[in-house]
Amino acid sequence: MQISPRRRIGFTLSEMLVVIAILAILLGLLLPAVQKVRTAAARTLCQNKMKQLALAAHSYEGATGVLPPGNTDIGGIFVSLSWHARLLPYLKQISLWYQVVEDCTNFPITYIAPPHVGLRTPVSDYACPGDPRQSKAHRTRQGILVAVTGYLGVAGHGTDPTNGVFYDGSNVRMIDISDGTSNTLLAGERPPSPDFFYGWWYSASSPVTGGAHFGVNSKRYAYDSSFSNCAPGPYAYVSGNVDNICDVFHFWSLHHGGANFALADGSVRFLSYSAAAIMPALATRAGGEVVAIAD
C-alpha cells in the first residue's frame, strides 16, 4: 500500500507578500479615517468648552448685572485680572478663585509677573484639545512659568477696539448688545504665541502678558521687538501658524478650515475662513450692521 506524502500547511512567499500588500493598503485607508475622527472629536470638545464659557458668562451677568470685564484696568485689587479668571466660580473652579482673591490681595498684579498660583495653573476649561500646548504650563522667553489659553474674548473691531463685548474695563450688559446676541461674537479661538508670552488666561493686558482679548483686527504692539517683522495691520480672519508670532493679531485655530466662536446668545458656531468679510460686523455689539451667519 502506497502512503501519500504529508501535506504542508502554510503560505508561500508570494502569498505572504500579497497579504502584506493588502494589509498596507487597508492601513493606508484606515489611518486618514482615524485622524479625521480624532480631528472632529477635538473640534467638538472645543465647541463644548466654549459653550460652557458662554454659559458661565451668562451666569456672571445674571449675578452681577454685567458681563465680566475683558480686563480690570483700574482700581481695586484685581487690576489686570482677565475675564477668564472672573468666570472661575461659574465653572466649578471655586477653590482656584479663592486662591486668586488671596493672591491678588497680597500681591497685586503689576507689569512684573506676580507670584500667583493661577498664573501657572492650567485650567482644562480654557484649553482646546486640538492644541496640546494649552493643557500644560510653559516657560516664556523671560523664564516665567505660565498657563495659557486658546479662547479669547472679542474686544470689537478696529485698532483700539472697545465696541465689542470684552475689552479693558468693559461693563457690557446683554441689553447693550443691540445688534442681537445671535449676531454678536463673544469669544473666539486664537492659539498662544510660539514663545508663550501672549495668551495667558490669568492676566489680560499688562505688557508682560500681552492681550487675552484681541479684536478681529489689531495693530502690532510697538513696544515688543518680537513684532518688528510683523505688518502693522489690520489683520483679517485667516489661517495661522503656531510658529509665527504675528498670528497673535487675529483669530484662527488648529482646526481645519476655520475656528470656533461663542456668540452672545450662548451658542457656538464653527466659522470658516470664508466668513472673513463679515467678521468685523459680528465683532461689534451695537454697530447697526445687517449680517447673517450662514449655516
More confident position, 114 or 209: 114
Mean pLDDT over the full length of the chain? 83
More confident position, 235 or 153: 153
More confident position, 174 or 43: 174
Q: What is the DSSP letter of 114?
A: P
Cis amide linkage into residue 234, ω under 30° from 0: yes
Domain positions in the chain are 15-283
Give the pLDDT score at 155.
86
**Ranges 111-115, 208-212, 217-221: which has the least confidence:** 208-212
170 touches 63 (CB < 8 A): no
> Could you tell me if residue 126 is left (phi over 0), alpha (psi between -120 and 50 degrees) or otherwise beta?
alpha
Give the pLDDT score at 34.
53
Closest CA to 127 of 185, 189, 71, 187: 189
46 touches 130 (CB < 8 A): yes
Please give the C-alpha separations between residue 163 and each of 151, 193, 215, 267, in angstroms, as whole numbers: 19, 25, 9, 20
On the question of pLDDT at 217 being above 80, the answer is no
Per residue in 244-269, pLDDT tens? 988 988 899 999 999 999 999 999 99
Q: What is the DSSP letter of 145?
A: E
154 touches 217 (CB < 8 A): no
